[in-house]
Every structure is written in structure tokens, then in C-alpha cells.
């Protein structure tokens, strides 16, 4: 029995999963739908995650919204390129952990009211995906085509026929299959768009609150009043020397004010608390040397109480801040799949900055227990 011949990449069909379809529709519908004036319709862009199955099919497992553009056209900014690189790395890590072969297999964008085709810019974008991966595909969604005879889900797959010709390459539609019956896919997508339409304004307000109130005001005020995060000076030199780079990692393990003052601006509160802890350890170490156990125990408790009092406010402020953030995330999370790079970065930026503060705070909370064996 002859083995099946390997299918030409251009003719390789794609299977669109319900998850990917819902994310495309949920995001696209925010910017172009039958209830929105056509003058306000805007294109959106995203990337596709999936795998090649036996060189016979492309499985589109997920679709990640990236950016909204104009009425006709989408432009990437630096943050989208950074986000895409992070997504690529994250998908790769998960694939290794889960023993899968998932990766970025293409892209999607919308043509509200324009139909299924590639503009010269679209061909250039497709080229960027298809040259390194001949199986890469693009999906185009146009809500005006939904429930039409030929494209009842309003979506089509495209590839370049001869990518070696560069932007002169022609394109054509490819065979697009679906994970479930199209009626079910359509029904599920309608439920998603209805839910997103009803809640998206509230979600965006919660994101604005995280950005403007929690990050720019509350977290900034916490750092101003009880500064713990070291602020790099403008004249810090970025080095590729491994020995020099490793030296900068010392702040994770030891407190060296002279070293830090060269590269960082040390907040006064951080300097104060570090001096208190250092002095406490020195005093207790001295009492151990004198073998005065009774005085050692009494002083240890008093010193712990004194330093703990100083850290009480930043702990309370931080806990309140994270509690408020968690409440906002609970409201946002059900719609996270339909947010783009700019919107997701609001959450990411807060998490990164608050995490920096928490790392130092938790380390200080550990050190104020004054366990000399850890010093």
C-alpha cells in the first residue's frame, strides 16, 4: 500500500476551532457590527496559534487579538511587536511543558464590508509568516458575509500561491474546515458577541481604573511614601559583560548601599528600614557573643516590634491595593480573551510594578523576624 503523498503547503486545509473563532468574532465585533454606523467601523488584527498535523492539516487552536486600526488598515506599534515576542515565547514554553507542537501559525484581520482579499500590505504581512513557514495562513473576517451561501461564518482562509515572488505573489482562498457544525459555531459566536457588547464598556472602565487610579496614583503614592523599589539612575550603563551583569544581581541577595548608590537612587524609606534591620542584627550578634541569652531574647522581641511597626503601613497599603486590583480583575477576567495588546498591557504593567514592590516587602517581612541564621 502506497503512503499518502505529502500535501503541497498551499493546498493544506486548515481547521478552525470554536475557541479561536469566538475570540476573533468577540474582538472584531467590538469595532464593526450591524448596529454600529459604517463610518465608525474599524479593522482589527491578531495572531493565530496552532499546530501542523502530520503535514496534512493546520489546526488553528487559538486567536489572540493584538490591535485595532482604521477603517481600512492596521498599523503595528512597538508594544505589539514586544507582545508578539512574549506570546511566541510563552507558547513555546507551554508546548515544551505539555509536549505539544503549538506555535504562531499565522494571523487574522478583518475587512468589514470589503470581503475576502489581500491588499498589497496584507500580502506583505502574509509573506512575513509564510516565508519561514510555508503552511502559515491568514484568516479574514467580514461580518457582512455572515450567513452568506459561501461563507456562513463570515470568515475565509488565504495563502500566497508563490511566496518566493515576494509582494508580487498572487493569493487565493484555501480550504477551511471547522471543529463543529457551522450552525453550532455561529450560535456560540452570537452568544459571545452579545455578552461582550453588554459588558465591554464596563470592562474598559475597570481597566482605566487600574491604569489611572491603582497604578498611576495609589501604587505611585505607596512608592513615594514608603519607597522600596530602587530607581535606576539615568546614567546607568547597559553592559554585555557577563561578570558585570552578574554583579548587578547582588541586590537580590545582599544590601550594599555603596554599590547601589552608584547605579540607583535609593528611596529614603528603604534606606531607613535597611539600616534599622542591619543595626538590629549587629546588636543581637553582639549579645550572642557576650552569651547574654536573657537580654538577647528581650531585645530581639523589642527590635522586631519596633521594625514591624515601621513596616505596618506599607503592608496595609499594599494589601488594600492588591485587594482592589483583584476585585477589578474578577470583573475583567471573563472578557480577557477579547482584549488586545494595549488593554492587556494595562494589567501586565500593574502586575509587574506591584510585583517589584512585593518582592522587596516580603523579603523585609522575612528579615524582620531577626533570625540570625538567615542573616
Q: Do 58 and 9 meet the contact criterion of CB atoms below 8 Å apart?
A: no
Cell of 30: 467590538
Cell of 44: 482589527
What is the DSSP secondary structure assignment for residue 267, as one 8-state letter?
Answer: P
- Could you tell me the sign of the dihedral formed by the alpha carbons of 319, 323, 324, 325, in that order? positive
- Could you tell me the sign of the dihedral formed by the alpha carbons of 347, 349, 353, 355, in that order? positive
As annotated, the residues of the chain forming the CATH 3.40.140.10 domain(s) are 9-179
- Is residue 67 helix, strand or coil? strand
Of residues 306 and 81, more confidently modeled:
306
The average pLDDT across 17-30 equals 97
Q: Do 156 and 172 meet the contact criterion of CB atoms below 8 Å apart?
A: no
CA atoms of 61 and 303, how far apart (whole Å): 57
Of residues 174 and 54, more confidently modeled:
174
Cell of 343: 488593554
Look at residue 200 in the predicted model and tell me its pLDDT.
97
Q: Do 269 and 275 meet the contact criterion of CB atoms below 8 Å apart?
A: no
- Is residue 95 helix, strand or coil? helix
Averaged pLDDT score across all residues of the chain: 86
Alpha carbon 329 to chain centroid, angstroms: 14
The average pLDDT across 335-356 equals 94
The average pLDDT across 236-240 equals 45
Residue labelled with grid coordinates 491578531: 46
Residue labelled with grid coordinates 498611576: 216
Phi, psi of 100 (to 5 degrees): -120, 175
What is the DSSP secondary structure assignment for residue 57, as one 8-state letter?
Answer: E
Q: Do 348 and 258 meet the contact criterion of CB atoms below 8 Å apart?
A: no
Of residues 289 and 306, more confidently modeled:
306
Distances (CA, A) of 228 to 135, 303, 309: 50, 20, 16
b vs e for 42-70, b when ≥16 Cβ sit within 10 Å of the residue's Cβ?
A: bbbbbbbbbbbeeeebbbbbbbbbbbbbe
pLDDT band at 79 (very low <50, low <70, confident <90, very high): low
pTM of the model: 0.80
CA atoms of 273 and 180, how far apart (whole Å): 60
9-179, which class in CATH? alpha beta
Contacts of 332 (CB under 8 A, 6+ apart): 203, 206, 207, 339, 347
**Is pLDDT of 8 > 90?**
no
Look at residue 46 in the predicted model and tell me its pLDDT.
94
- Is residue 107 helix, strand or coil? strand
Amino acid at each position: 500500500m502506497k503512503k499518502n503523498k505529502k500535501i503541497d503547503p498551499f493546498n493544506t486545509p486548515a481547521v478552525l476551532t470554536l475557541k479561536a473563532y469566538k475570540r476573533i468574532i468577540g474582538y472584531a465585533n467590538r469595532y464593526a457590527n450591524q448596529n454600529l454606523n459604517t463610518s465608525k467601523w474599524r479593522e482589527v488584527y491578531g495572531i493565530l496559534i496552532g499546530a501542523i498535523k502530520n503535514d496534512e492539516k493546520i489546526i488553528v487552536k487559538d486567536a489572540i487579538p493584538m490591535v485595532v486600526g482604521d477603517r481600512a488598515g492596521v498599523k503595528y506599534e512597538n508594544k505589539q511587536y514586544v507582545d508578539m515576542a512574549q506570546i511566541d515565547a510563552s507558547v513555546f514554553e507551554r508546548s515544551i511543558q505539555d509536549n505539544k507542537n503549538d506555535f504562531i501559525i499565522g494571523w487574522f484581520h478583518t475587512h468589514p464590508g470589503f470581503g475576502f482579499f489581500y491588499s498589497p500590505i496584507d500580502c506583505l504581512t502574509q509573506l512575513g509568516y509564510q516565508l519561514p513557514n510555508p503552511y502559515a495562513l491568514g484568516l479574514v473576517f467580514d461580518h457582512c458575509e455572515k450567513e452568506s451561501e459561501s461563507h456562513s461564518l463570515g470568515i475565509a482562509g488565504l495563502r500566497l500561491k508563490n511566496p518566493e515572488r515576494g509582494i508580487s505573489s498572487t493569493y487565493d482562498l484555501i480550504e477551511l474546515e471547522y471543529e463543529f457544525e457551522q450552525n453550532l459555531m455561529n450560535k456560540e459566536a452570537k452568544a459571545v458577541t452579545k455578552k461582550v457588547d453588554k459588558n465591554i464598556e464596563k470592562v474598559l472602565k475597570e481597566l482605566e481604573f487600574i491604569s489611572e487610579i491603582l497604578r498611576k496614583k495609589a501604587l505611585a503614592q505607596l512608592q513615594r511614601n514608603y519607597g522600596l523599589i530602587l530607581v535606576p539612575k539615568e546614567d546607568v550603563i547597559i553592559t554585555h559583560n557577563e561578570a558585570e551583569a552578574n554583579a548587578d544581581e547582588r541586590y537580590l541577595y545582599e544590601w550594599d548601599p555603596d554599590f547601589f548608590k552608584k547605579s540607583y537612587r535609593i528611596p529614603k524609606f528603604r534606606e531607613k528600614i535597611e539600616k534599622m534591620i542591619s543595626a538590629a542584627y549587629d546588636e543581637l550578634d553582639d549579645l550572642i557573643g557576650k552569651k547574654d541569652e536573657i537580654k538577647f531574647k528581650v531585645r530581639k522581641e523589642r527590635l522586631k516590634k519596633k521594625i514591624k511597626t515601621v513596616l505596618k503601613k506599607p503592608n496595609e497599603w499594599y494589601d488594600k491595593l492588591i485587594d482592589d486590583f483583584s476585585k477589578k480583575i474578577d470583573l475583567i477576567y471573563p472578557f480577557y480573551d477579547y482584549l488586545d495588546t494595549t488593554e492587556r498591557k494595562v494589567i501586565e504593567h500593574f502586575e509587574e510594578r506591584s510585583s517589584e514592590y512585593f518582592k522587596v516587602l516580603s523579603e523585609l517581612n522575612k528579615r524582620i523576624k531577626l533570625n540570625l541564621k538567615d542573616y
